[in-house]
Amino acid sequence: MLELAVLSAAFAMGAAIPDRYACGPCSPPLSWSEAPAGTQSIAILCDDPDAPVGDWVHWVVFNLAPDVRSLPENVARDAALPGGAIQGVNDYDRNDYDGPCPPPGRPHRYHFKVFALDARLALDAGARKADVVRAMRGHVLAQGELVGSYARKAR
C-alpha cells in the first residue's frame, strides 16, 4: 500500500498540539501528499486511543474530492462541506471537529489519519468512524497519519 505524507503547519509529528486546537471546534490545518492515480475520494479520521473509555473519535470526514490536498484551519461546523464532502458524527455526537480535551494528567496521542480511496463512500452525515472504516474496506489505495499529543493542565 502506498503512503501519504500528512503534515500540519500547526504541529510536527509527535509534537504537542497547540491549545488553539484543543477543547473546542477549531481544527488544525492539515495537508497531505498527492493521492495515487485512481483515487476517487479522500477520508480523514482523528481519534485518541488513550482515552479512558478506549478509542475516542474527534473527527470523521469523507468524500473529499480526490484532488483536495489540504484542509484549512477551522473547518466549518457543518455536516456538508464544499464539493460534496461530509463530516460524519464524532464521539461528542456532532458533525464537526472537536479538539483534544483529555482529563488533566498525562498527554494523550491524537492520530490524524488520511486515506485515498478508489471509491466515494455511500454514507450520509449520520456515519460514524466504524461505518467509514467498514465502507473503506477493500478501497484504500494509500494512507498516512500525523500524530500529535495534548495534555490538559489541571486548573
Number of domains in the chain: 1
Domain extent, residue 138, equals: 2-149
CATH number of the domain at 72, please.
Answer: 3.90.280.10
Contact 28, 11 (CB under 8 A): yes
Answer yes or no: is 154 within a domain. Answer: no
Answer yes or no: is 105 within a domain. Answer: yes
Query: For residue range 82-114, what is the model confidence (pLDDT) as tens digits?
Result: 999 999 999 999 999 999 999 999 999 999 999
**Could you give the percent of the chain with pLDDT greater than 90?**
95
CA distance 28 to 11: 9
Answer yes or no: is 84 within a domain. Answer: yes
CA distance 21 to 40: 29
pLDDT value, residue 87: 98
Query: For residue range 36-71, what is the model confidence (pLDDT) as tens digits?
Result: 999 999 999 999 999 999 999 999 999 999 999 999
Answer yes or no: is 143 within a domain. Answer: yes
Does the pLDDT at position 155 exceed 70?
no
- Scanning the structure block, which residue is given the C-alpha cell 491524537? 110
Does the pLDDT at position 154 exceed 80?
no
Is residue 1 very low, low, confident or very high in pLDDT (cuts 50, 70, 90)? confident
